[in-house]
Every structure is written in C-alpha cells, then in structure tokens.
Amino acid sequence: MAGIGRFGAISLLIALGLALPAFAQSPGAQDGSEPFSVVDVRTADQAWSPDGTVLTYSARSTEDWYYDIWSVDLLSMRYRCLTCSLSLLRKHNGSPAWRPDGSFMVFTAENADVLPMADAQAVPGVGVNCNVWAMTPDGRKAWPLTRYATDYAAPRAVLRPQFSQDGTRLFWTEAVGDPGPAGNRGYAWGIWQLAVADFVVTDGVPSLKNLQHHLPGDRVAFYRGKGFAPGDRYLLLAGNPEKNQPLNGMDIYEYDLQTGRLTRLTRTADAWDDYPSFGPDGRFIVFSSGRGLGAAFPELTHPEWQKYARSEMWVMDRNGANARPLTRFNQADDPDREWFTRRVGAASRFFVGDIELDPAGNRAALNVFYEGPDGVVGSVLLSLNLEQRMKEPPRKPGR
C-alpha cells in the first residue's frame, strides 16, 4: 500500500472522518434576517443549479460513512440523494458540477474495486483511485467519462470537474501517479496536471473527446481547478507551481488556454490561498485564505497538519487587487463567530473549504470545517447572503 500516504494531506479536514455533532441545528432556509443559513452537515463540496434554485453537494452517510451526492430545493427545502440508488457507485461520490443547460451533472466517483483500507483517500477533495463520471440531474443514469484503473503503488487522482460556460468542454485536475522527485517536500502530494476535454453527447450518452493535458508553471506539484472564466479562454486554479513554493503557501492563478501563460493572482508564501471562484461577470474572485491567522504546519505530509489549519472566505478583484476578508469565524468577538456558536455550536478553529456562488452572484455556498470543544472536527454547508455582505464595510483580517 506504499504510495497512498502522500495524498493524505490533500484532504482538507475531510479524511479525519467527520462526525455529526450533537449540537448541530436542523437545516433551514435563509429568510434574510441573518447573514447565514445552515443547509446540511457532514458535507464536502457543492454546486448550484443553473437557475440557482437547487444546491447539489456531497454529504457523508451516518450508516456507511461514504459520501453521496445530494440536492436540496431551496424553495421547498426538499432533500434528495442522487447517487444512493446507483448500483455501480457504492463508494465515495462527490464534487458535483452542473452543465449550464441543466442536462447533465459531472462528479467524481471512487472505483468499485478499491479496498476498504484505501477508502479514506478517495473522499471528495482527495480523489485517489477515482474517476470522472456524468449523470442525469435526477440521478437515474450515470456514465464513466474517464477509466483510470485502481493502483495502490502509483495511484491516479481526479479533482473537481467543471464545465465551460458554453457547456462544450470539461476541466479537472489530476494526479498522474508519479510521486515526484525524492526528498522534495514541494512534491509531497505527487505530480499533477490540468485536463481539458470536449464534452460530447451522442444519442443521449455523454463522453469525452480530444483530451489535452497542460502542465503550467515551473513545478507541476499540485493544482486544484475551479472552472472557466467568462468567455472560456481562462482557467481558474489554486496550486504551488513556483520553485520552492511550500505546500502551505498555495496561491491563486489564472491560466490562459490559448497562450499557455500562467498568471499569479495572490502572493502569500506564509498563508494558504485556495478554492477560488469567479463572480458571475468575472470581475471579482472569492476564495479561501489563511492570511493573518498565523496557522503553522509542523508536518505537511502527515494528517497531523490538519489540526492547525485556519482560513476565512475572502474576495478580490479579477487581477488580485483589493483583497479583503468576507468572514471572520476565527475572530472570537466577531458576529460571525457569535452566529456560529448560536446556530451550530461552540468551536475553536475554522477552515473555509469549497466556495460556490449562485448564478446571480447573490449567495455563496461555503463549506466550513470546524473543531468542536471535544476536539472532533465537523463540517457544515452554509448559505451566505453575499449581496448583503459585499455592501458591508471592509473587515480586517486576523484573530
């Protein structure tokens, strides 16, 4: 089983095995009286439907602890599991993304032949020994789009498939099964590449054609892709492709598919910038950042580092200027912390993971991982009134 361990650090507080906290509140619709509303718990990543009325996300079962893909109609608050009845997909399923016309969703699914002892590395956000799949929005039919075989010595991994805005292409990032140069801590998570392919539907069956790989930057250590910019020429991603850039110093980048140019949008060598998403018109980017929080990582290749991670939701201009925090869960006297304590429960440390904006840019769905008083790490999917929050005076980073 050598080789699996190097991917353990990719999991953002997921691989610890999230438990349902006894103090978690029931999900409820956002009525405008509070900045956030709770959508669900034990979650990993999410996506909005093209019309903004449905939120689709990964949630962990209390029965077998595998992730499945769920949807909630935010008007009726009716919940439905989309992958629970798919006989070929009995292990981890996650990272959903809608095609802009609403005809299909894509997601990552763990290979059926993976041994149970390797399941933890296949959770959404880690993706080891997983493939990219497509399914109908009702969850009745599903098809594999990639077919990477299970491999424990040099495993492949896939992360966060995303449609182009015209729905004709698909973008994801993948580990190539190569651990990278020995002794180089920047390659602790292996070698990664960008994958872009045409999404083709023939007689109702989706498939990929013209698959291309891109390896931008000075070092192809790790990338997490988050989709296409308006116009579909640029890709938005996070990673550490610079020489001597530490794993905990990931930054946000924009990649030009036509010229191959990689543009660095943030420069925070001592903080983790990740999970970027474009606003609807592409003028601004929201992302997760640990800047100002003083998080230290004694060991990046061991799950122990997860005990130290802290971050908040930030926003910046398309070119990286005017970056400022939008949440302050980690600030003890901030109203965000007070809301969380009142509606979810007491917690001492917070890490904002996946962030997705609705099509209109009025709401943000964000996964917040937190450490409760008993040391158990949990997660909650929140809906933020982004339109209201963006109008508030700028918040200062820090604890």
What is the distance between the alpha carbons of residues 155 and 118, in angstroms, rounded to a whole number?
11
Strands (E), 64-129: 67-73, 78-81, 93-98, 105-110
Contacts of 387 (CB under 8 A, 6+ apart): 361, 362, 363
What is the rounded distance in angstroms from the CA atom of residue 366 to the CA atom of residue 382? Answer: 5
- Per-residue pLDDT at 244: 79
- 233 C-beta neighbours (distance < 10 Å), count: 14
How far from chain centre, in Å, is Cα 186?
A: 21
Predicted pLDDT at 300: 58
Match 């602790």 to its residue by tokens.
188
Distance, CA of 157 to CA of 189 (rounded, Å): 11
Annotated domain spans of the chain = 5-391
CA dist 119 and 48 (Å) reads: 27
Backbone angles phi, psi at 376, to 5 degrees: -80, 135
Alpha carbons 148 and 176: distance in angstroms, whole number: 10
| CA neighbours closer than 13 Å in the CB half-sphere of residue 300 | 16
Give pTM, 2 decimals.
Answer: 0.89
Find all residues with CB under 8 Å of 184, minimum gap 6, and list them. none
Long-range contacts, 338-345 (Cβ 8 Å, 24+): 339/34, 339/35, 339/36, 340/36, 340/368, 340/370, 343/25, 343/34, 343/36, 343/38, 344/21, 344/23, 344/24, 344/25, 344/38, 344/370, 344/380, 345/21, 345/23, 345/24, 345/372
Distances (CA, A) of 385 to 18, 42, 44, 311, 357: 26, 21, 20, 19, 10
- Distance between CA atoms of residues 20 and 25, nearest Å: 10
Distances (CA, A) of 349 to 11, 141, 213, 329: 17, 40, 38, 8
| CATH number, domain 5-391 | 2.120.10.30
CA atoms within 13 A on the CB side of 14: 31
For the chain of 399 residues, list the mean pLDDT of each consecutive stretch of 10: 33 34 39 83 94 95 91 93 91 97 97 94 92 96 97 92 97 85 64 95 97 89 89 94 81 96 89 91 93 72 64 95 95 94 94 94 94 89 94 73
% helix / strand / coil in the chain, to the nearest 5? 10, 40, 50
**Confidence (pLDDT) at 19:** 36
Burial class (CB in 10 A: 0-12, 13-18, 19+), 322: exposed
> Can you give the pLDDT at residue 177?
80
**Total residues found in the chain within this entry:** 399
User: What pLDDT is recorded for position 184?
Assistant: 59
pLDDT the model gives residue 10: 32
**DSSP character at residue 282:** S
The amino acid at residue 100 is P
